Chains A and B, each alone.
Chain A
Amino acid sequence: MSVVADSISVVAGGVAILKEVSFTAERGAVVAIAGPNGAGKSTLLRALAGDLVPDAGVVAIGDHDLSGMATNERAAARAMLGQFERHDIPFSVREVVAMGRYARRNRSTAQRDAAAVDAAVRLLDLGDVADRSFATLSGGEQQRTHVARVLAQEATVLLLDEPTGSLDVGHQRLVMTALRGLAAEGRTVVVVLHDLNLAAAFADTLVILSRGDVVARGAPAAALDEGLLSAVYEYPIRVVAHPIHRGPFVVPVDSEHDRSG
């Protein structure tokens, strides 16, 4: 199912966070949203999730208006990982992942639930810590647990805000690969990413936001324009060819002075 935002605007405290933004993600696609701090990325994702109702415009999943959906309908349609999830959850990792199955509690069996949880745990490399208390885990392990929970929900649309923020290089790749795999199975995946190179490596479409407007949209090679990036991030940026796969590779131009500190 596709998720579509049609010309949505969000205003908060007199400030326009999103200005008539239109956004589409089709099934089978991984769409990355990037941009500087305060651009409105998280707000866009929350609007796509139905967490907030835009002041103008409509958000729909599979042609159904999101604002008209009941809580459990929505939970079946989309799963969302927030930017700041809680750390102080007194349950085991497995139990936390299982919470993602809440919406299906009346329509699923214990076996199905266990299978979904196990699959998510394996996919996110949480096997070693599955029975430990969530609160004792490292930040990265906790983040992966939350991602696993989102996966266990088995919703058709996946919305993730910075799912790799606390993860090491290997686990970053693990998560993004898992998301690519899910997209290949027919899901729709939308991720907010700070890391432009990660986005370039794993996304089909890259959308760049700046100050509430979409300033670039398209395949990474097209969307990652040096001039645009430098202007948007207010920092000299060059886009070069990746030394191995030759795709676009973003390089901030740090001066000698900055680097030696």
Chain B
Amino acid sequence: MPRSGWWMAGVASLVTVVVVASLFSGEVAVSPGEAWRSLVGGVAGSEAGSTAEAVFRAIRLPRILGALLAGAVLGMAGAALQGLYRTRMADPFLLGVSSAAGFGAALAVVVSPVGVSSGVTALLAAAAGVAVALGTRAIARSAGDPGAFVLGGVALALTLLAWTVILIFVADSPRLPTFAYFVFGGLGGLTWSVVFWALPGALVGMALLLVSGRDLDVLALGETAATRVGVPVPRVAAVVLVGVGVGVGASVALAGVIGFVGLLAPAAMRPLVGPGHRALLPASAVGGAGMLVAADLIARSVAGPVEIPVGIVTAAVGGPLLVAVVVRRTVGLR
């Protein structure tokens, strides 16, 4: 097995450990036996079981699965954006895509009279995400360098945040915690219904990214040279950006607006599996999934029964690391 294979096995093991730790932490103590019974009971369709089993099946499992799914999408989307725009600083949040999807999700809350329809949320989040993702190409063309490009994206993100806050003022106050989830990130409200509705978007998004792996590699030559070599650049960009928009839309429906996972997962995986996207995209998905589950674990454990929004945890860790990336500003394996 090549060296990168060993690294991936190691990362996968680490992620498994974090997942198991997360599955068994929370306000309600769940024993491995109860966990097993709740899974087996679920498949068989029986209803009986202790509170712990019910909590595990109806709350813990969807939460962890949702975190894995959202983290995987964000990690892969970050890697794809970095390849498309040839900069280490690209990330769905920094380019404004996440905030757009967040605005879409917040709109869904305002639009739904009673409760939040998971389907409507996923749809609006995805639509907004795709719209802005495709728009990033326009920003990229007018911006001179990656720094200006990311700055434009951050400005867009802040604008969308402002619009989301306006929506909050318009809506009823009992909806406030739901909005807080979307704006700052949070996995607290996840149920199987949300996971169900987000699953197609997440899978479709990731599929679109995976098929673009080879094209993203050749884009490293620059758009002009890549076009000369035969890459249909506008079409590749459209496929990647639609994949990013739909996938990030699903991740926001699951976990709200979360930044930096898309930045950090590829940065962590690239030294282990190399720059080729056929390996980097799935590796970033695994890395991102692990990161989000870990961040969620921290968010739940640090301040007692109160949950810190997951987006705050990722920003607290990711922000300084972004500064480090910007300061180093080297590309390649120097």
Q: Quick check: do A and B touch in the complex, using CB within 8 A?
A: yes
Q: A residues within 8 Å of B by Cβ?
A: 49, 51, 71-72, 74-76, 79-80, 82, 85-86, 88-91, 95-96, 99-100, 102-103, 105, 133-136, 149, 153
| Complex contacts, A80 vs chain B, CB 8 Å | 228
Centre residue among B86, B230, B231 by max chain A CB count within 10 A: B230
The 6 closest A-B pairs by CB, nearest first: A135-B332, A75-B230, A103-B230, A90-B275, A88-B331, A90-B332
List 15 A-B pairs, Cβ < 8 Å.
Answer: A71-B230, A72-B232, A75-B228, A76-B230, A80-B228, A85-B225, A86-B222, A86-B225, A99-B220, A99-B221, A100-B229, A102-B218, A133-B333, A134-B332, A135-B331
Could you list 19 further interchain pairs (A-B, Cβ under 8 angstroms) beyond the known A72-B232, A102-B229? A49-B228, A51-B224, A71-B230, A74-B230, A82-B228, A85-B222, A89-B221, A91-B275, A95-B217, A99-B218, A99-B221, A102-B218, A102-B226, A133-B332, A133-B333, A135-B331, A135-B333, A135-B334, A153-B229
Is B276 among interface residues, defined by CB-CB distance under 8 A?
A: yes
B window 62-97: CB within 8 A of A: 86
Is B214 among interface residues, defined by CB-CB distance under 8 A?
A: yes
| Complex contacts, A95 vs chain B, CB 8 Å | 217, 276
B window 288-334: CB within 8 A of A: 331-334
B334 touching A105 by the CB < 8 A rule? no
In the complex, which residue of chain B has the Cβ closest to the Cβ of A74?
Answer: B230
B window 217-261: CB within 8 A of A: 217-218, 220-222, 224-232
User: How distant is the Cα of A88 from the Cα of B229 in the complex, in angstroms?
Assistant: 18
Closest approach, in angstroms, between the C-beta of A66 and any C-beta of chain B?
12
User: How distant is the Cα of A99 from the Cα of B214 in the complex, in angstroms?
Assistant: 9
In the complex, which residue of chain A has the Cβ closest to the Cβ of B234?
Answer: A71
User: How distant is the Cα of A90 from the Cα of B333 in the complex, in angstroms?
Assistant: 7
| Complex contacts, A149 vs chain B, CB 8 Å | 221, 229
In the complex, which residue of chain B has the Cβ closest to the Cβ of A88?
Answer: B331
Closest approach, in angstroms, between the C-beta of B25 and any C-beta of chain A?
39
| Complex contacts, B333 vs chain A, CB 8 Å | 90, 133, 135-136
User: How distant is the Cα of A71 from the Cα of B223 in the complex, in angstroms?
Assistant: 13
Closest approach, in angstroms, between the C-beta of A83 and any C-beta of chain B?
10
In the complex, which residue of chain A has the Cβ closest to the Cβ of B231?
Answer: A102
| Complex contacts, B222 vs chain A, CB 8 Å | 85-86
User: How distant is the Cα of A173 from the Cα of B275 in the complex, in angstroms?
Assistant: 34
Closest approach, in angstroms, between the C-beta of B333 and any C-beta of chain A?
5
User: How distant is the Cα of A149 from the Cα of B221 in the complex, in angstroms?
Assistant: 11
Closest approach, in angstroms, between the C-beta of A154 and any C-beta of chain B?
12
A88 touching B332 by the CB < 8 A rule? yes
Q: B residues within 8 Å of A by Cβ?
A: 86, 214, 217-218, 220-222, 224-232, 275-276, 331-334
Closest approach, in angstroms, between the C-beta of A245 and any C-beta of chain B?
35
| Complex contacts, A75 vs chain B, CB 8 Å | 228-230
| Complex contacts, B225 vs chain A, CB 8 Å | 82, 85-86
User: How distant is the Cα of A168 from the Cα of B334 in the complex, in angstroms?
Assistant: 24
A82 touching B224 by the CB < 8 A rule? yes
Closest approach, in angstroms, between the C-beta of A67 and any C-beta of chain B?
14
User: How distant is the Cα of A71 from the Cα of B236 in the complex, in angstroms?
Assistant: 12
In the complex, which residue of chain B has the Cβ closest to the Cβ of A132?
Answer: B333
User: How distant is the Cα of A149 from the Cα of B232 in the complex, in angstroms?
Assistant: 18
User: How distant is the Cα of A90 from the Cα of B332 in the complex, in angstroms?
Assistant: 4
| Complex contacts, B334 vs chain A, CB 8 Å | 135-136
CB contact under 8 A between A91 and B276, given known A82-B224, A82-B225, A105-B214: yes
| Complex contacts, A102 vs chain B, CB 8 Å | 214, 218, 226, 229-231
A99 touching B332 by the CB < 8 A rule? no
Closest approach, in angstroms, between the C-beta of A100 and any C-beta of chain B?
6
Closest approach, in angstroms, between the C-beta of A77 and any C-beta of chain B?
10
Closest approach, in angstroms, between the C-beta of B4 and any C-beta of chain A?
14
A136 touching B332 by the CB < 8 A rule? yes
| Complex contacts, A91 vs chain B, CB 8 Å | 217, 220, 275-276
Closest approach, in angstroms, between the C-beta of A27 and any C-beta of chain B?
20
User: How distant is the Cα of A85 from the Cα of B223 in the complex, in angstroms?
Assistant: 11
| Complex contacts, B275 vs chain A, CB 8 Å | 90-91
In the complex, which residue of chain A has the Cβ closest to the Cβ of B215?
Answer: A102
User: How distant is the Cα of A102 from the Cα of B231 in the complex, in angstroms?
Assistant: 7
User: How distant is the Cα of A192 from the Cα of B144 in the complex, in angstroms?
Assistant: 27
User: How distant is the Cα of A244 from the Cα of B257 in the complex, in angstroms?
Assistant: 73
A71 touching B332 by the CB < 8 A rule? no
Centre residue among B220, B224, B228, B334 by max chain A CB count within 10 A: B228
CB contact under 8 A between A71 and B227, given known A90-B275, A91-B276, A135-B333: yes
| Complex contacts, A105 vs chain B, CB 8 Å | 214
Centre residue among A76, A80, A91, A135 by max chain B CB count within 10 A: A91
B230 touching A89 by the CB < 8 A rule? no
User: How distant is the Cα of A134 from the Cα of B228 in the complex, in angstroms?
Assistant: 20
B232 touching A71 by the CB < 8 A rule? yes
| Complex contacts, A88 vs chain B, CB 8 Å | 86, 331-332
In the complex, which residue of chain B has the Cβ closest to the Cβ of A46?
Answer: B224
In the complex, which residue of chain A has the Cβ closest to the Cβ of B224?
Answer: A82
User: How distant is the Cα of A202 from the Cα of B176 in the complex, in angstroms?
Assistant: 75
CB contact under 8 A between A51 and B217, given known A134-B332, A135-B333, A136-B334: no
| Complex contacts, A136 vs chain B, CB 8 Å | 332-334
| Complex contacts, B218 vs chain A, CB 8 Å | 99, 102
A90 touching B228 by the CB < 8 A rule? no
